[in-house]
Amino acid sequence: MGDLKLMQEYAHKGEGFSPLYISGEWQVAQINYAPNQAIGSITSIDIHFKTDELFVLLKGTAILIAAIRNDGKVLSFETTLMKQGVVYNIPKMVWHNIALEPTAEVLIFEDKNSHLGEYEIVDLSLEEQKSLTQQLKKTIFDNTQIGATK
């Protein structure tokens, strides 16, 4: 049995996004902290036209961002401090991004073609970036306060 290898392992230890496994119609990827994903550094949002995207926090702190956009402007952001082991779904046609603190690691499950043209990325205006940063900080503060009162 010495050379028998029935299982495969996949891991991403570097910064940013990396596909881990692609099979059939889907892929598993991982996003780890990178400076452009830090709170205060989010400058864009993206949308997937054909499929949902699932996120699972492995470790650290991550905030999932969803947005409503109309006439070229972001009308509002919704932010959620992710809980470890919970599956979060961003439905197709919802603008989104993710903010990560330095120890964060998040698994992503999506259509294997999501990043091959079935999406769009838009830059946020400076005003939108400021608004998002304030909301991200408030999300962390609010959740810190909830934890402090228990």
Regarding pTM above 0.75, the answer is yes
94 token code pair? 């919802």
Fold designation for 18-148 = Jelly Rolls (2.60.120)
Give residue-wise pLDDT tens across range 38-76.
999 999 999 999 999 999 999 999 999 999 998 888 889
What is the length of the chain? 150
**pLDDT above 70 coverage of the chain, percent:** 94
Q: Beta strands 119-123 and 62-70: pairing type?
A: unpaired
Give residue-wise pLDDT tens across range 128-142.
999 999 999 999 988
Q: Is the pLDDT of residue 120 over 50?
A: yes
